[in-house]
Structure 1
Amino acid sequence: MKKLVEKHPLAIRWFHWVNFPVLALMIWSGILIYWANDVYRVGWGDTTLLQFFPQSFYDAFHVDHKLAQGMSWHFVLMWVFALNGLLYVGYTLISGEWRELVPNRGSFASAWRTILHDLGIRKESLPVHKFNGVQQIAYTSVVLMGAGSLLTGLAIYKPTQLAWLTTALGGYEWARAEHFILTIGYVLFFVVHIAQVVRAGWNNFRAMVAGFEVVEVPAPAPAPLQPTTSPDSSVNAS
C-alpha cells in the first residue's frame, strides 16, 4: 500500500534550488578570476603531477583573460549566496529543522553503516530516518564550508581593510589557498551528491521538488469477525 508522506518543507526546497545554480555560477566565475594567477598544482620543484586547470581546459571553454567579467559575476553572486545561506541557517534554527540536520552522537556510526550498505558490504536494511548519518555530516559540512568561503573571500577581496581577518586566516596567500581548497570541496560534493540522487531514484528527487515522497506502508489488517448469537440459541441455552 502506497502513501504520500511530506518530507521537505517549501522553505528548504527554495533554499536548495536557489543555492545550486548560484554556487555553480560562483565556481564558474571563480575560474575566470583564477586564470589571472593560475599557480596551484600538485607536485614538487619542477615536477608537476597534476595541474588543476591545464591549458587545454581554458582553450576548450574559452575562459582565458576574463578577470573583470569573473570578478563582476563573483561579487554580485556573493551577496545572493551569503543572503540565501543566512536565511537557510536562520530558518533551520527557528523551525527546529536543525535537529534533523546537525550530526549527533550516533551520526558517525550511522554514516559508517550507510557507507558499508551503499558499497554492498552490509546487507541488513538501514533504519529509516529523514537524514542518515552521511547526509547529516555532509550537509552540515557544506554550511560550514559556505561560512569559510565567505570569510576567505572577504579576506582576499579586502586584505587591507580587513587585515585582522586576513591575518587570522594565515595571510593573503593562505586565505587564497583556503578559498581554492573549499571550491574543490564543493565540486567533490556536487559529484557525490548528484551520484547519490541518481542512485536513490525519482522518489527521492521528487521529494526535493514537490516536498513529498511515496512510501510503502503495510495494509491495515482486517477486523476480526465477531461471533453472533441468534435468539433461538439463547432460548435453547436457557
Structure 2
Amino acid sequence: MKTIKEKHSLLMRWTHWVNFPILTIMIWSGMLIYWASDTYTFTLFGHTFFHFFPDSFYKFFHIPSRLAEGMAFHFLFMWFFTLNGILYFFYTIFSGAWRELIPQKNSFKEAWLIVLHDLHIRRTAPPQNKYNAAQRIAYSAIIVMGFGSVITGLAIYKPVQFYWLTWICGGYHFARILHFALTIGYVLFFIIHVVQVVLAGWNNFRSVVSGFEVINEKFATQTEGNPVNDNLKPDVDHL
C-alpha cells in the first residue's frame, strides 16, 4: 500500500527554487565582471602555462565587452541572493530544521561510507533519517559558503566603505580569490547535486516540487529494524 507523506515545507521549497535562477544569474554576471581583469593563471618559474579561462571560453559565451552589463546584474541580484539566504537561515533556526542539517559527530565517517556506496564499492549504505550524513555536510557547507560570498562580495564591491570587512577577508586581492573560489564551489556543487537527483529518481525530485513523497508501507513494514537491506532499498535522498 502506498501512502503520501509530507517531506519538505513550502518555505524550504520556495527558497530552494528561487535560489537556483538567482545564483545562475550571479555566476553568469560574475563572469562578465571577471573578464575585465582575468588575472588567475597557472604560472610556474615565471612562465604562464594557461589562463584559468581560455579565450575560446569567452568567445563561446560572448563575454567580452559586457562589463557594465555584468556589474548591473550582479549588484542587483546580490540583494535577492542575500535576502533569500537570510530568509532560509532564519527559517531553519526558528523551525528547528537545523537539527536535521547540522552534521553529527559520526557524519564525516558515514559520509565516506555513502560515497563508497554510491560508487558501488560498498554494498550497503548507513541508515539515514530525512538527510544522510553526506547531505548534512553538503547543505551546511552551502549555507556557510553563502555567507562567505556575501562577505567577500561586499569587501571587493566597496573596499573603501567596508575597509574593515576587506581587512577581515585578508585584503582586497585575497577577498577576490575567496569570492572566485566560492563561485567554483557552487558550480561543482550544482553538478553533483543534479547528478544525485537524477540517480535518486522521480520520487525524490517530486518531493522537492510538491513537498510530498510516496512511501510503500509494505516496504516500511518489511524493512523495520533493517534499514540497510540492499535488496529492499527505497528511494534515497542524495545531495
Q: In the alignment, which residue of structure 1 is the partner of 2:216?
A: 216
2:48 alignment partner in structure 1? 47
- Partner residue, 1:80: 80
- Rounded Cα–Cα distance in structure 1 between residues aligned with 2:127 and 2:78: 38
- Written as runs of structure 1 = structure 2, the 5 A alignment for 1:1-238 is 1-44=1-44, 45-48=46-49, 50-218=50-218
Q: Secondary structure at the match of 1:218?
A: helix
What secondary structure does 1:62 align onto?
coil
Classify 1:67/1:219 alpha carbon distance in 2 versus 1 (closer, same or farther; 3 Å).
closer
Shift of 1:134: 0.6
Post-superposition CA distance 1:157-188 (Å, at most 9, x none):
11111111111111111111111011000000
1:46 aligned partner, one-letter code: H
Q: Look up the equivalent residue of 1:28 and give its one-letter code.
A: W
State the shift of 1:125 in Å. 4.5
Alpha-carbon shift at residue 154 of structure 1 (Å): 0.4
Whole-angstrom CA distance in 2 between matches of 1:183 and 1:10: 27
One-letter amino acid matched to 2:15: F
1:219 Cα deviation after fit:
7.7
TM-score with structure 1 length normalisation?
A: 0.89
Measured after TM superposition, the shift of residue 41 of structure 1 is 2.1
- Relative to structure 1, the CA distance from residue 126 to residue 4 in structure 2 (aligned partners, 3 Å threshold; closer, same or farther) is farther
Which secondary structure state, in structure 1, belongs to the residue aligned with residue 17 of structure 2? helix
Q: Distance in 2 between matches of 1:167 and 1:219?
A: 56
For residue 218 of structure 1, report the CA deviation from its aligned partner. 1.9
Q: Is the partner of 1:159 in helix, strand or coil?
A: coil
Q: Return the offset for 1:100.
A: 0.4
CA RMSD after TM alignment: 1.5
Cα distance between partner residues in 1 of 2:137 and 2:105: 11
CA distance in 1, matches of 2:168, 2:189: 27
**Structure 2 CA distance for aligned equivalents of residues 105 and 152 of structure 1:** 30
- Supply the distance in 2 between the matched residues of 1:174 and 1:30 (Cα, whole angstroms): 17
Calculate the TM-score normalised by the size of structure 2.
0.88
Q: What secondary structure sits across from 2:120 in the alignment? A: coil
- Structure 2 unaligned segments of length 5 or more: list them: 222-239
* Alpha-carbon distance, 1:38 to partner: 0.5
* Larger-Rg structure: 1
C-alpha distance in 2, partners of 1:43/1:191? 28
Q: Would you say the 8 A contact 2:155–2:162 is kept in 1?
A: yes
**Counterpart residue number, 2:235:** none
Give distance in 2, aligned partners of 1:161 and 1:125.
Answer: 50
| Cα gap change, 1:117 to 1:67, in 2 (>3 Å) | same
Give the distance between the partners of 2:114 and 2:30, measured in 1 at CA: 34
Q: State the Cα deviation string for residues 118-146 of structure 1 (Å, max 9, x = none).
A: 01111125414110011110011011001
Distance across 2 between alignment mates of 1:53 and 1:154: 24
Alignment CA distance shift 1:161-1:203 (3 Å):
same
1: CA distance, partners of 2:132 / 2:220? 28
Give the drift of 1:217: 1.7
Which residues of structure 1 form unaligned runs of 5+?
222-238
How many residues align? The count is 220
